[in-house]
Amino acid sequence: MSESKQDVIDDIARLIDRPARRVSTGSTEPKTVLTDILDVLARELPKPELAEFIARGGGEGWDSSCDSRLSPSGGGDTVTIQGLRRVRDSVKRILGRH
């Protein structure tokens, strides 16, 4: 038996502890499936990883100059000014506001 879109959506809903969204006519997945995932990721990912996710989503690169994860002290949870600029540029690109 093959897996349907609804099966996958139901699995995702269980994984993120959100209500299962219903596939609509024509097997179209609702956008809320994805926004539910983003909401959970925003709370679960460490700040530098979330910033990197946003930057890369808008086509920006990400390297060790963007956060302090690889600094000698371990740096903790800090996003640098370079990283924030890349997040900003990504948001502008995604929203079409160059």
Q: What string of pLDDT tens digits covers the 98 residues of the chain?
A: 799 999 999 999 999 999 999 999 888 999 999 999 999 999 999 999 999 999 999 999 999 999 998 887 766 789 999 999 999 999 999 999 87
Examine the domain organization and report whether 19 and 32 are in the same domain.
yes
Examine the domain organization and report whether 50 and 29 are in the same domain.
no
pTM: 0.82
Examine the domain organization and report whether 51 and 97 are in the same domain.
yes
CB of 55 within 8 A of CB of 86? yes
- The C-alpha atoms of residue 31 and residue 10 are separated, in whole angstroms, by 14
**Burial letters 9-23, b for 16+ CB under 10 A, else e:** beebbeeeebeebeb
Structural domain span for residue 88:
46-98
Examine the domain organization and report whether 60 and 39 are in the same domain.
no
Q: Coil, strand or helix: which one is 13?
A: helix
C-alpha torsion 21→22→26→30, nearest 10 = -20
Number of domains in the chain: 2
